[in-house]
Structure 1
């Protein structure tokens, strides 16, 4: 158990390090309902933090937190790891403050370390052209798929937003599509000629056959 890794040194008025870790574990599991993986990671982080301050919770202040995270950085820990440990200690110090083990919450003074969020891979121009330039035999499903791909490429809307569109959401005269996004916020997104032509082929040649065939 992670708590066993922490020496039973006094960390406050009559509170032992292993007791602190055990109560924090119960809080994470039963009150926060975190995943077992996250609980294990947080407990390991707290054990290391308490070892860093010699097992004395009273010595956990903002300088100690910054020093501990700086040591992690100097040891070559990944930014994602540092971000998790920063989140962990803020959760831990807030928990200890509520329990009355810390007079104040030093985690509130700690800056937020953010994990890197790499940009998603995108198609280059030639790859996009090959995706969109798919030979069609005029089958309703093919016409529908081409219209969806053209509209997705032309507008950059989310796939979930695309799936929620109806025929009435398309303004053909203005060449805009009405999109209901996050928070049910509505916006109008323009699109160009290729998407309009693909939509026309679907609406005129594909959708009527699709409906008559009972496909929806």
Structure 2
């Protein structure tokens, strides 16, 4: 008997690719999926580079993508996957309950955003709903986004500056690295503190980690 296939050449079960650099998480995802006959675990990847290649080969219906990967981050991997396949459906998976990270992921084309702390409870529902064309965001993160929807986000340059602050860079060193003046760096930092409601540089880094702007 020939199983019916969808427009990506898969049997009617939803084909799921999972990406996480911890094998324990990958094994856990596979174990959860095995309990759902309508979802098929077709492969796992432990790096972003491997994820892009696996997606090209397997053409999964849904990809579950960790943010923190050893080569490049999951959002960059998401962008590369969608550049090659604009119809790709990717759910971001993370330990960071950050509204800014979630918004960044959604703007990059993510179809969902779920927390590892709720993985077993939400995984199957998220995969099914995303496959059906819906967006899925963990409830706690959705609440945080709603509470801060009118707040200005950090620009790409401001995030870059803040990353270098988190790494211990001085204004002078950051200016040299980014090929901008020290005064321009100070201007970026003033805007960062204002947007995050931070008292100083260290406080700004702490808030940025909490809200998922930085994944340290």
User: TM exceeds 0.5?
Assistant: no
Task: Report the structure, 1 or 2, having the larger helix content.
Answer: 1
Task: Report the structure, 1 or 2, having the larger strand content.
Answer: 2
| Higher relative contact order, chain-length normalized (CA < 8 Å, sep 6+) | 2
